[in-house]
Structure 1
Amino acid sequence: MLSQSLPLLALAATALGFPDLPFKTSGSEILTSKDTPIKVAGTNWPGHNDVMVPEGLQYRSIKDIVSDLKSTGMNVVRLTYAIEMIDQLLDEDKSDLQSAFVDALGETEGMAVLRQLLANNPEFSATSSRLDVFDAIVEELNVQEIYVNLDNHISSGEWCCGANDGNTWWGDEHFDADKWVRGLAYMAEHGSSHPLRIPPQPTNTHQGKAWPNLMSMSLRNELREPSNNATLLETYNWQTWYKYMREGAQAVSDANPDPLIILSGLNYDTTLQPVVRGQPLTPGDEVFSFDDFSADKIVFELHNYDTRATNCADITGALYNGGAQAMVPDDETTVNAAPVLITEFGFAQTEYQGVYATCLADWMPDNTAGWMQWVVAGSYYLRSGTPDYDETWALYDHEWQSWRVPEYVEGIFSDSIAATLADNA
């Protein structure tokens, strides 16, 4: 079991100013606890796939991975998780690493990968919990002064996302609204330094520690049409979206009042237009209001994967009209100004000199509150049934040892981070 005390380096960092949490919002800006504007830039570290353990630890130690991330200048990681992780913990009392790997990969392969993970990360054992791993990653990120955006990526632990995967919309096969709310509250409280604010959990619940660098929580990744369910498709609308976003946000703020709350849109998180423009949330006539959420905590997020675009204006125009105009209060159609984060964009790393990659690298620093590239993971324990799946879009190579395309990571990527963070105090 991991130590429940923060390392001295983390305490020293906190004393020197980092993390300056809790953050709040003011118009289109994110402000620190000292009321100074701040932007963030970094990458995604997946922990939501079949094993439901953050990827790559069979190849490297947590400390080494975080040190590599820090070398790029980034100050945030979007750490993803599945609601099923909390369901198994609370309903089945199953959270140990041995079960996690064996259930996903089978006895032989699962134990082999687990042994590699433990060799690289000897602070864990086969009986350590999945949340022990999340805790250790967050702790090391805190030591190296990197914020955490905790993202509920999916309900069932698997690769995301598709229209037929049962995770599309509230009420889908794997997307139980009540368990989603419970999971959000559990993770918010898990990372909180405040007294317990939600009903006590069973005595077998993992007792975690505060996450001092927990900047924000994304309520749900890439909501999308449940195209294989005609009945559920009738509820796929802005009115339903607003109902559940309020419920999820309330669950987070009740459990932990500190994190920013990040709202994603429809169509795989490519549009928030009626929210930003104050238009009716159809089929009802209600409009979005910040008064329905915790004061000064709401941030919008967008995704973009228009990798085949040949014109930068097409990419930035789609982002602007999709919701990034919330960063421009002076636009006469902007009713609800708010910070906007591009929490996912990505491409095969060999295409780093193309229009898509260079366009976003130039545009994001001045037109967003920050961004998180997809993805750091050079490979996955298991993806879509394939063990040790190679990720050609990753910053890392397959074995998480070196950058897949150093010219990109050490050039365009790091330069865009520096430009984004240039004005941070």
Structure 2
Amino acid sequence: MKFSFALLGLASVAAAVPSPQLTNDGVSARAAWPNGPFVTSGRWILDASGKNLTYAGTNWPGHADVMIPEGLQYQSIETIVQKIKSLGMNAVRLTFAIQMVDEIYANGGKDITIQKAFVQALGQANGMKVLNQVLAKNPRFSASTTRLQVFDAVADELAKQQIYVHLDNHISKGMWCCSSTDGNSWWGDTYFSAANWTRGLSYMADHGRSWPGLTSIGLRNEPRDPTNNPSLSRASYNWEAWHGYMRQGAAAVHAAHPDLLIFLSGLSFDTYLTPVVRGQALTPGAGTFSRDEFAPGYAGKLVLELHNYENSIGSCGSLQGNLLRNGFEALQGGTGSGVVNVFPVMMTEFGFQMDASTWKGVYASCLASFLPSLKAGWTIWVLAGSYYIRSGTQDYDESWGLLNHDWSAWRSPSYVEGALKAMVRNTLS
């Protein structure tokens, strides 16, 4: 299947952005990396100089039971970030759980130590064992280091190596994500308090003011039907309620940190945003999506994000068609396209088995060409070669991880050299 990209609007819209002020030596006062804050204009994200940019990166989970970024028992933060940088990537989607912020509030405003975090997640013996491994690999830390201080150190190293941080609220209760029965599916679900969610977003956005490389935040990972809570599903699992909650979350972030781009994810595990893009009714109501309904001052901060895991799809044309219909057509627009709202769109999750051959299949190879052809940003799932704990199994091996179990090397060197590095280059060129 062929698509015309004549409507992609590849011409820069830099003229619409005010020129940055100059210092006495003639160097732009805002030209230093990351040259923010970023804004949106049509299908593009623009830096402070009005230059088009996008993300090509990976996911670094920090939302699970321990609630700190994974892998630090095996490698130092510096080593892990160097691995990311060696791919040419410019972004990391760094995930967090609302529970971390809830515990800070419950503890009188103080975060808990990583010693307590490991022990409560892994048990006394294993928790202390893994903690000591983390301290050996990352001697800047101690048992009294807090979880947020670990996030700070990760953000600091990413900034040193000029990699953007996209912070992502992945889940409410710190655990493996995601299922429709995990109590984190939808606002009002067992662990998903709307009030705690907005409080957590506000807290993390404000805390992230100290991170020079923090450029954006995702309001919620994979909203989905709470199938084990049929009354909640009937009452509010719909586009109208989604719209109201997205506005609440965006307002909380913008009030705390107005420089951030704000990513909106769709329904059904964030697999489609068609009603938003096509201006269709946000059912069961009759209203449609409008940037004007978001508070003045940050309508130019909104980005759409989608996930896709159609690993068994039979043809690249089918996958491309699905992606366009589900929201990537917002990058195109144009008369007769059916697109009402043009947006930047990014694929913040896709992934597959990291072995010698899966990357050569239809799904992976199609995305490797299609996303760069759209100049659509992406972050692959997942960097992690293993997890402190996943679904009750400690030191869980991640066969989809870019890195091997001890985070020391690429799990599939043939994929990295044969496709991934080129995908990064072609996206950012």
TM-score (norm 2): 0.90
**Aligned residue for 1:203?**
none
**Aligned residue for 1:84?**
99
Moved over 4 A (4+): none
**Aligned residue for 2:73?**
58
1:32-181 → structure 2 map (5 Å cutoff): 32-92=47-107, 93-181=110-198
Residue type of the alignment partner of 1:146: I
Question: Are positions 1:212 and 2:216 aligned together?
Answer: no
The alpha-carbon deviation at position 15 of structure 1 amounts to 7.7
Q: RMSD in angstroms over aligned alpha carbons?
A: 1.1
Residue 383 (structure 1) aligned to one of 387, 390, 409: 390
The alpha-carbon deviation at position 292 of structure 1 amounts to 2.1
Aligned equivalents of 2:425, 2:31: Cα separation in 1: 21
| Residue aligned with 2:201, SS | helix
Residue 313 (structure 2) aligned to one of 294, 309, 316: 309
Residue type of the alignment partner of 2:141: F
Contact 1:51 1:104 in 2 (8 A): yes
Residue type of the alignment partner of 1:339: P
Identify which range, 315-324 or 165-174, moves more after superposition.
315-324
Q: Deviations over 1:128-180 (max 9, x none)?
A: 11000110101100000100110000000000000100000000000000000
Contact 2:347 2:379 in 1 (8 A): yes
The alpha-carbon deviation at position 16 of structure 1 amounts to 6.1
The alpha-carbon deviation at position 318 of structure 1 amounts to 1.2
Q: Deviations over 1:299-338 (max 9, x none)?
A: 0000000001121112111111111111012153110000
The alpha-carbon deviation at position 101 of structure 1 amounts to 0.2
Aligned equivalents of 2:415, 2:262: Cα separation in 1: 31
Question: Are positions 1:231 and 2:238 aligned together?
Answer: no
| C-alpha spacing 1:121/1:177, structure 2 compared with 1 (3 Å) | same
Question: Are positions 1:18 and 2:19 aligned together?
Answer: no
**Aligned residue for 1:369?**
376
Q: Identity rate of aligned residues, in percent? A: 54
**Aligned residue for 1:349?**
354
Contact 1:46 1:55 in 2 (8 A): yes
Contact 2:38 2:47 in 1 (8 A): yes
Question: Are positions 1:279 and 2:280 aligned together?
Answer: yes
**Aligned residue for 2:257?**
256
Residue type of the alignment partner of 1:59: Y
The alpha-carbon deviation at position 94 of structure 1 amounts to 4.6
Residue 333 (structure 1) aligned to one of 322, 330, 338: 338
Gaps of at least 5 residues in structure 2 are 1-28
Residue 323 (structure 1) aligned to one of 316, 323, 327: 327
Contact 1:339 1:368 in 2 (8 A): no
Aligned equivalents of 2:376, 2:37: Cα separation in 1: 16
Gaps of at least 5 residues in structure 1 are 1-13, 193-209
| C-alpha spacing 1:96/1:189, structure 2 compared with 1 (3 Å) | same
Provide the aligned length of Structure 1 versus Structure 2: 392
Aligned equivalents of 2:153, 2:396: Cα separation in 1: 24
Question: Are positions 1:414 and 2:418 aligned together?
Answer: no
The alpha-carbon deviation at position 411 of structure 1 amounts to 2.5
Q: Deviations over 1:248-304 (max 9, x none)?
A: 000000001001000000000001000000011010111111112213100000000
Q: Deviations over 1:367-423 (max 9, x none)?
A: 25300000000000000000000000010000000000111112201100000000x
Aligned equivalents of 2:145, 2:213: Cα separation in 1: 22
Residue type of the alignment partner of 1:252: V
Q: Deviations over 1:338-382 (max 9, x none)?
A: 000000000001211111110000000122530000000000000
Aligned equivalents of 2:106, 2:289: Cα separation in 1: 35
Aligned equivalents of 2:277, 2:212: Cα separation in 1: 31
Aligned equivalents of 1:295, 1:344: Cα separation in 2: 24
Aligned equivalents of 2:50, 2:112: Cα separation in 1: 39
Aligned equivalents of 1:274, 1:313: Cα separation in 2: 22
Residue 189 (structure 1) aligned to one of 200, 206, 214: 206
| C-alpha spacing 1:59/1:15, structure 2 compared with 1 (3 Å) | farther
Identify which range, 140-149 or 285-294, moves more after superposition.
285-294
Contact 1:327 1:368 in 2 (8 A): no
Question: Are positions 1:245 and 2:219 aligned together?
Answer: no
Aligned equivalents of 1:314, 1:45: Cα separation in 2: 30
Question: Are positions 1:392 and 2:399 aligned together?
Answer: yes
